[in-house]
Chains A and B, each alone.
Chain A
Amino acid sequence: MPDDDLKALRGIGRELAEGLRTHSLDVHEGREAAEDVVAALPAEYWCLGLRPDRNPKPLREGGRTLPVRSCREFTALMEELCRGDAGLALAMPFSSMSAMLMEQMLDASQLDAHYARMSERPTWTFFALTEPERGSDAGAITTTLEPGEDGAVLNGVKRYIGNGARAYCGLVFARNTAASGMFAVQPVLVPSDAPGFTAELLDTMGLKGAGLSEIRLEGVRVPVADGARTAPTGLRGAMQTFDTFRPCVGAMALGAGTAVYEYVDRELRAGAQRNWRDRFVHRIEATRGLIATAAAALDAGRGDGSVSSAAKLSAVRLADALAAAAVDVLGPAARLDHPLIDKWDGDIRGIEFMEGTSDIQRQTIAQGWIAGRLPLVGARPGEGR
Chain B
Amino acid sequence: MPGTDESTAASPTALSPNGSDYGATAFADGVPAALARLLAEHPDWSPWGHRGYALVPEFAPRGTIVRTLQSDEGGLALCRDEYREHSLDPRWTAAVTGIRLGGAERLMRLCVQHLSRRTVQGRMTLAHPVVRAHFGEAVLDLAEARQCADLPAAGRTADAVVRATLRRFGAAGYVDGPARRLARALDLLSDLYREGGPDHAGR
Interface status of B202 (Cβ within 8 A of chain A) = yes
Chain B residues within 8 Å of chain A by Cβ, number: 39
Q: Which residues of B contact A332 (CB under 8 A)?
A: 49-51, 191-192, 194, 196-198, 200
Beyond A332-B50, A332-B51, is A327–B191 a contact (Cβ under 8 Å)?
Answer: yes
Using A140-B119, A349-B166 as known contacts, say yes or no to A331 and B201 having CB atoms under 8 A apart. Answer: yes
B residues less than 8 Å from A335 (CB atoms)? 187-188, 191
Contact A268/B201 with A130-B171, A204-B174, A332-B196 known, Cβ cut-off 8 Å: yes
Question: Nearest-CB distance from B146 to chain A (Å)?
Answer: 21
Q: Does B9 contact A (CB under 8 A)?
A: no
CA distance A270 to B196 in the complex (A): 19
Q: Is the CB of B200 within 8 A of A331?
A: yes
Please pick, from B51, B163, B180, B202, the residue contacting A336 in the complex, using a CB distance under 8 A.
B51
Contact with A along B34-45 (1 / 0, CB 8 A): 000000000000
Nearest A residue to B177 via CB reads A203
Q: Is A218 among interface residues, defined by CB-CB distance under 8 A?
A: no
B203: which A residues are within 8 A, CB to CB?
267-269, 330-331
Chain A proximity of B166: nearest CB distance (Å): 7
> Which residue from chain B places its CB closest to the CB of A206 in the assembled complex?
B174
**Cα separation A350 to B169 with both chains bound (whole Å):** 12
Assess whether B120 is in contact with A136, with CB atoms less than 8 Å apart. yes
**B118 interface residue per 8 A CB criterion:** yes
Complex contact B49–A333 (CB within 8 A): yes
Is the pair B174, A349 in contact by a Cβ cutoff of 8 Å? yes
Contacts of A267 in B (CB 8 A): 201, 203
Q: Say which residue of B121, B166, B170 sits within 8 Å of A357 (CB atoms).
A: B170
**Residues of chain A at interface, number, CB under 8 A:** 42
Closest partner residue, chain A, to B156 (CB atom): A328
CB closest residue in chain B, given A332: B50
Q: Is A273 an interface residue (CB 8 A)?
A: yes
Which of B49, B51, B171, B192 gathers most chain A CB within 10 Å? B171
For the complex, give the distance between the alpha carbons of A160 and B173 in Å: 11
Q: Which residues of chain A are within 8 angstroms of B202 by Cβ–Cβ distance?
A: 268-273
Q: State A352–B122 Cα separation when bound (angstroms).
A: 24
Given A135-B171, A267-B201, verify A336-B119 contact (CB < 8 Å). no
A336 to chain B: which residues have CB within 8 Å? 51, 53, 66, 78, 191-192
Given the complex, which residues of B lie within 8 Å of A359, measured CB to CB?
Answer: 130-131
- Chain B residue at minimal CB-CB distance from A207: B174
CA distance in complex: A112, B174 (Å): 37
On whether A334 and B166 interact (CB within 8 A), knowing A204-B174, A349-B174, the answer reads: no
Chain B positions 130-188 with a Cβ under 8 Å from a chain A Cβ: 130-131, 156, 159-160, 163, 166-167, 170-171, 174-176, 180, 184, 187-188
Nearest 9 pairs between A and B by C-beta? A272-B202, A332-B50, A331-B201, A203-B176, A269-B202, A333-B51, A160-B171, A331-B200, A333-B50
Sample (27) of A-B pairs whose CB atoms are under 8 Å apart: A133-B118, A136-B120, A140-B121, A160-B171, A202-B175, A203-B176, A206-B174, A267-B201, A269-B203, A272-B201, A329-B201, A331-B198, A331-B199, A331-B203, A332-B49, A332-B51, A332-B197, A332-B198, A333-B50, A334-B201, A336-B53, A336-B191, A337-B51, A349-B174, A350-B174, A357-B167, A359-B131
Which residues of chain B have a CB within 8 Å of any CB of chain A? 49-51, 53, 66, 78, 118-122, 130-131, 156, 159-160, 163, 166-167, 170-171, 174-176, 180, 184, 187-188, 191-192, 194, 196-203
